[in-house]
Chain A
Amino acid sequence: MRRNTSLHVGAALLSIYILFHACQSEQAIRTAQYAVNGQKLYGMHCQNCHGAKGEGLGTLYPPLTDSTFLITHRKQLPCIVKNGSSSPIQVGGKTFNTEMPPNPQLTPIETAYVLTYIGNSFGNKMGIFTIEEVQQALADCR
């Protein structure tokens, strides 16, 4: 009886462990899928100004390598991608005040793709931007 209980407990623990890892790798796969889709969109809509390596250009276009900026502005990022930006911003210790054009044609899922790509490239490690997160952020845009 006692042996049975410990066996059951062991089996339960094992299945939780397996489930946990399966979920984690599922999440990693989804992040990778979003990033791959995002890379294509990045090439079409962002790369001309921000560069193939997210390096930006002088003080005309800010780099996308300042992880601190991206993390602290995570909630505004979908709004910037979709609506552009016209106020001066501080990135990597420099001030940028070139107007960024809006990308009204990007759907929320495409915005999630492109942000997942940027957020997990160029030295950034922000994890996935889900469509729910992007939709919530877009609803809160100022």
Chain B
Amino acid sequence: MRSIFFLLMSGSILAGLAACSNETSKTLPILGSRDPVTKVVDGKTITDTLYHTIPDFELLNQDSTLITNQAFEDGVYIANFFFTHCPSICPTMQRNLLKVYEKYKGDKRVKFLSHSIDFRHDSPSVLKSYAEKLGVTNDQWQFVTGSKASVYGLADSYMVYTKEDSNIPGGYDHSGYLLLVDSKRHIRGAYDGTNDEQIQLLFDELAILLKEYE
């Protein structure tokens, strides 16, 4: 009887330890290409890794204000690409992102950045009306527009496929990924915004990433 008790005790302690170490050791990878750079520091030659980084940007938001990377550098953010009259994947993607927004509403560590790929139609006022109708009531979630070159170029660095295509309903083809970006502009996760399991993974991994800022 006693030995069984000890066995159970030690078993549960081990399980507890394993669970704890799993929790604390899990960090998210940095996605994208990486380049080794060799430099000389204090007379010694060291090799460092240069990770894929979101470049500088300057885009017009739903209040017609120019925003830059600065708006996102004191926390993490989730970026995606959409357009307001998109009849296909965008509503599902935005419905799912809205769930994340609602959970973290008021938590300034988490921000949201939706880029419109319809540079012809989605002016700031169109984006403003869209944001209000979606249910976005504060500046934690920015909706931005810019020149085709700047937005489509950014999509490439977020590793999101975007293309104008008149054969596609709505006129633009793009992938519905949600990108989790940290304060150093590194992409830490990519999730299919139309897939419920991937959205759950985003919730889980966002919580893991936020631990780095505690």
Q: Which residues of A are interface residues toward B (Cβ below 8 A)? A: 47-49, 51, 57-61, 98-99, 101
28 A-B pairs with CB atoms under 8 Å apart are A48-B87, A48-B88, A48-B89, A48-B90, A48-B91, A48-B92, A49-B91, A51-B95, A57-B91, A57-B94, A57-B95, A57-B98, A57-B134, A58-B98, A58-B134, A58-B135, A59-B132, A59-B133, A59-B135, A60-B91, A60-B130, A60-B133, A60-B134, A61-B91, A98-B133, A99-B85, A101-B87, A101-B169
Give 16 new A-B contacts, CB below 8 A, not counting A57-B134, A101-B87.
A47-B92, A48-B87, A48-B90, A48-B91, A48-B92, A57-B94, A57-B95, A58-B98, A58-B133, A58-B134, A58-B135, A59-B135, A60-B91, A60-B133, A60-B134, A101-B169
> What are the interface flags for B103-126 relative to A under an 8 Å C-beta threshold, 1 for contact and 0 otherwise?
000000000000000000000000
Q: Is the interface of B mostly helix, strand, loop or mixed?
A: helix
- In this complex, the member of A49, A51, A60 whose beta carbon has the largest number of chain B beta carbons within 10 angstroms is A60
- Cα distance A59–B134 in the bound complex, in angstroms: 6
Closest CB in chain A relative to B109 CB, distance in Å: 24
Closest CB in chain B relative to A40 CB, distance in Å: 17
Q: Which residue of B lies closest to A50 (CB)?
A: B91
Residues of A within 8 A of B87 (CB): 48-49, 101
How many chain B residues touch the partner (CB < 8 A)? 16
Q: Which residue of A lies closest to B90 (CB)?
A: A48
Closest CB in chain B relative to A69 CB, distance in Å: 18
- Cα distance A101–B88 in the bound complex, in angstroms: 11
- Cα distance A51–B90 in the bound complex, in angstroms: 12
- Cα distance A70–B18 in the bound complex, in angstroms: 55
Q: Which residue of B lies closest to A51 (CB)?
A: B95
Residues of B within 8 A of A99 (CB): 85
Residues of B within 8 A of A49 (CB): 87, 91
Q: Which residue of A lies closest to B85 (CB)?
A: A99
Residues of A within 8 A of B94 (CB): 57
Closest CB in chain B relative to A94 CB, distance in Å: 10
Residues of B within 8 A of A60 (CB): 91, 130, 133-134
Closest CB in chain A relative to B188 CB, distance in Å: 27
- Cα distance A101–B132 in the bound complex, in angstroms: 21
Residues of A within 8 A of B89 (CB): 48
Q: Which residue of A lies closest to B93 (CB)?
A: A48
Closest CB in chain A relative to B204 CB, distance in Å: 22
- In this complex, the member of B88, B98, B133 whose beta carbon has the largest number of chain A beta carbons within 10 angstroms is B133
Q: List B133-179 residues whose CB lies under 8 Å from chain A.
A: 133-135, 169
Closest CB in chain A relative to B133 CB, distance in Å: 4
Closest CB in chain A relative to B99 CB, distance in Å: 11
Closest CB in chain A relative to B157 CB, distance in Å: 27
Q: Which residue of B lies closest to A61 (CB)?
A: B91
- Cα distance A47–B98 in the bound complex, in angstroms: 16
